[in-house]
Amino acid sequence: MVLTLAGSAATTLAAPPGFLSFDTALALALHENPALVASAAKIDAARQAAIPAGALPDPKLALGIDNVPTDGTDRFSLTRDFMTMRRISVMQEVPNRDKRHAREAVAQGRIEVAEAEARIVRLTVQRETAVAWISRYTLEQQLLRIDALFAENRLLDAAVRARFAAGQGRADETVAPRQEAALLEERRDELIARREQAVALLKRWIGAAAEAPLAGAPPDWSIARDTLMQHLAHHPALTAFDPLGRVLDAEADEAQAAKQSDWSVALSYQQRGPQFSNMAGIEFSFDLPVFTGTRQDPRIAAKRAERAALDAEREAMLREHAAQLAGDLAEYERLSRAVSRQRTVLLPLADEKAALTLAAWRGGKGSLSDLITARRERIDAELKATALEGERRQMAARLHFAYDEPLLSEESK
C-alpha cells in the first residue's frame, strides 16, 4: 500500500510548481503525512512479529556436575569417583500443535488490524486535508469579492462627492461611503484571520506547502445517498472490528489449547572419570494441566467475554455511524437547497434591490441611506452564497472520504 501511495503522489505532484491544487494537496498528504508513516511502520512491525509466531522456542543448553561426593576421602572430587559426572544437555520445548497454530492466527490477525487502522488513518488524512483546502479556497473567494466591493465603494464615494459638489446632496451623505469602506475593512480583516487559521490547519496535513497559492477549484462530488446507506456496514471503522474479532478468537483458541499437554525432549552427555565409560541420556517431560478449573478455563472465559464486548462495541458504533450518516446526508441536502436558493433567489433579489435603490438615488427619488442598506444586504448575500457553497463542498468531502474510494467507484459502475 505504501508503494502505491508513493507512486500516486509522484504522478500528481507533477503539477505546475509554486501552486497548490486540490489534487496536489491530497497527494502531499498521502506522501508525507507522519500519521501514514506511523501506520506503515506499525504494519511492518506486525509482519515482523508474525515471522516467529508459530516457531518452536529456542533450544536450551544446560551445563552441570552430578553426583559430587561431599565427604570421605573423595570429597568434592571431580575425577576419581565413578559417580561424579560432568553433564552437558540440550533441551527443546515443543508446544502442542493447536497452540502454535493459534499463535500464528493471532499474529496474522494483528497484521490485519494494523492494515485496517492504516485505512482509517488514510481516509482521515484525505478527508481533513480536503476540508482544510476547501475552507481556505472558500475564504479566498470571499476575499476576492471583498476586493471587488472596494472598487465599487470607491466609485460610489466619487459619485456622492460629485453629487454634493453639484449641489444635489447633503454634506452628511459624503460620510456614508467611508462608513461602508470601514465595514468592508472589518469584514476583510475577519476573513484574513480565518484564512490564516485555514492555512495553519492545512499545514498540519501537508506541511509548509500549505502556504503556497491555490490553483484551480475543488471537485464537485456526486453524493449518492443510497450507495452510502448500503455500504454503511463497510465503513472502515466498522470493518476494523473483523480482524480484532479474529485476534480474540485466536487467543481464545490458544487458551483452549493450553488444556493439551506441551512436551519437551532433552539429550544429555555425561563425562565420568578416565577409568569409567562416559554416558548419554534422553529425557521427555510433559505438562500436566490438571487444574484447568482455576487456570485455563478462566482464561478461556475471559477471551470469550472480550469477544462479546467487541461485538457489542461494533453494534454501538454501527448505530453511531448510522445516525451520523443520516445527519450528514440531511445537512448536505439542506446546504444544497440553501446554495440553490441563495444563488437563484436571494442573491438576484439583493442585486435587483441594490440596482433599484441606486437608480432611485441617482434620479433624486431615493435616499443614500437606503442605497447603503441595499448594498450592505447585497454584500451579505454574496458572501453568504460563497460560504454556503464552501460548507456544502466540505460536507461532500466528509461523505466522499467516509469510505475507500474503490468501494464507491465499483458501486457507481
Q: What is the pLDDT of residue 392?
A: 96
- 190, three cell numbers: 475577519
Domain 2-56+95-258+295-412 has CATH 1.20.1600.10: yes
3-state secondary structure of 227: helix
Question: What is the Cα–Cα distance from 7 to 209, expressed in whole angstroms?
Answer: 19
Cβ neighbours for 98, distance < 8 A, ≥ 6 positions apart: 253, 256, 257, 260
All structural domains of the chain with their residue ranges: 2-56+95-258+295-412
CB count in 10 Å sphere of residue 236: 19
> Closest Cα to residue 395, out of 354, 320, 335?
335
> Are the C-beta atoms of 30 and 36 separated by less than 8 Å?
yes
pTM (predicted TM-score): 0.81
In b/e form, how buried is each residue of 119-132, taking b as 16+ CB within 10 angstroms? bebbbbbbbbbbbb
Q: What is the pLDDT of residue 403?
A: 73
Question: What is the Cα–Cα distance from 121 to 258, expressed in whole angstroms?
Answer: 36
Question: What is the Cα–Cα distance from 239 to 116, expressed in whole angstroms?
Answer: 7
| H or E element that contains 278 | none
Question: What is the Cα–Cα distance from 342 to 353, expressed in whole angstroms?
Answer: 15
Q: What is the pLDDT of residue 80?
A: 58
Question: What is the Cα–Cα distance from 269 to 69, expressed in whole angstroms?
Answer: 20
> Are the C-beta atoms of 118 and 42 separated by less than 8 Å?
yes
Place of cell 529425557: 283
> Closest Cα to residue 358, out of 348, 350, 366, 347?
366
Question: What is the Cα–Cα distance from 48 to 138, expressed in whole angstroms?
Answer: 46
- 135, three cell numbers: 475552507
The amino acid present at 289, given as its one-letter code, is P
Question: What is the Cα–Cα distance from 251 to 26, expressed in whole angstroms?
Answer: 39
Half-sphere exposure of 176 (CA within 13 A, CB side): 22
Question: What is the Cα–Cα distance from 257 to 292, expressed in whole angstroms?
Answer: 11
Q: What is the pLDDT of residue 321?
A: 92
Q: What is the pLDDT of residue 212?
A: 94
3-state secondary structure of 62: strand
Question: What is the Cα–Cα distance from 187 to 164, expressed in whole angstroms?
Answer: 28
Q: What is the pLDDT of residue 6?
A: 36
> Are the C-beta atoms of 397 and 124 separated by less than 8 Å?
no
> What is the pairing mode between strands 60-66 and 20-21?
unpaired
**String of DSSP letters for 169-221:** S-GGGGHHHHHHHHHHHHHHHHHHHHHHHHHHHHHHHHGGGGGSPEES-----
Q: What is the pLDDT of residue 43?
A: 95
Please list the pLDDT of the chain residue by residue as tens digits (413 residues): 333 333 333 333 444 568 999 999 999 999 878 999 999 999 999 999 999 999 999 999 999 988 777 776 667 766 655 677 889 999 999 999 999 999 999 999 999 999 999 999 999 999 999 999 999 999 999 999 888 888 877 877 777 777 767 666 666 677 777 888 888 889 899 999 999 999 999 999 999 999 999 999 999 888 888 888 888 888 899 999 999 999 999 999 999 999 999 999 999 999 887 777 888 999 999 999 988 888 899 999 999 999 999 999 999 999 999 999 999 999 999 999 999 999 999 999 999 998 998 888 777 787 777 888 888 888 889 999 999 999 999 999 999 998 755 444 444 44
- 51, three cell numbers: 515471522
Read off φ and ψ for residue 389, nearest 5 degrees: -65, -40
Cα radius of gyration rounded to whole Å, the chain: 38
Question: What is the Cα–Cα distance from 132 to 25, expressed in whole angstroms?
Answer: 10
